[in-house]
Amino acid sequence: MGKYTSNSGARKPVVTERTSKKWKAVILLGVLMTVGGLVASVAITASGNRDLMPMAGLAGIAFLLGIPTYIVGRFGQWWFHG
C-alpha cells in the first residue's frame, strides 16, 4: 500500500523543528543587545557630543551583556534539545 497508510486513517504531523521558542528568544535578545549596543556606542562616540557619553557607556554595557546572553541561549538550546 501507500507510504502513509495506517490503521487509524489519521496521519500524525512530522515535527522537524524541536527547538524551544524560549531559547530562540534568548538568542535573539543576545544578538540585538550585542549589535545594538555596539552600533549605538560607536555612533554616540563618533558624534563627539560630550552630553551623550553616559549613553555610550550604557550602550557598551548592553554590548558586553549581550555576548553572554547569546552564549547562554545557545547553551540552553543545546542542553535541552541536543
Say how far apart CA 17 and CA 9 lie, in whole Å.
Answer: 24
DSSP conformational letter for 51: G
- pTM, full prediction: 0.73
65 in any annotated domain:
yes
Residue 4 has pLDDT above 80, yes or no: no
Distance of CA 5 to the CA centre of its chain: 40
Say how far apart CA 22 and CA 43 lie, in whole Å.
Answer: 31
The residue whose grid cell reads 546572553 is 69
pLDDT of 7: 60
pLDDT digits (tens, 9 = 90+) for 38-47: 999 999 999 9
Number of domains observed in the structure of the chain: 1
Residue 57 has pLDDT above 90, yes or no: yes
60 in any annotated domain:
yes
Band of residue 14 on the pLDDT scale cut at 50, 70, 90: low
The residue whose grid cell reads 534568548 is 26
16 in any annotated domain:
no
Range of the domain at 66: 30-81
57 in any annotated domain:
yes
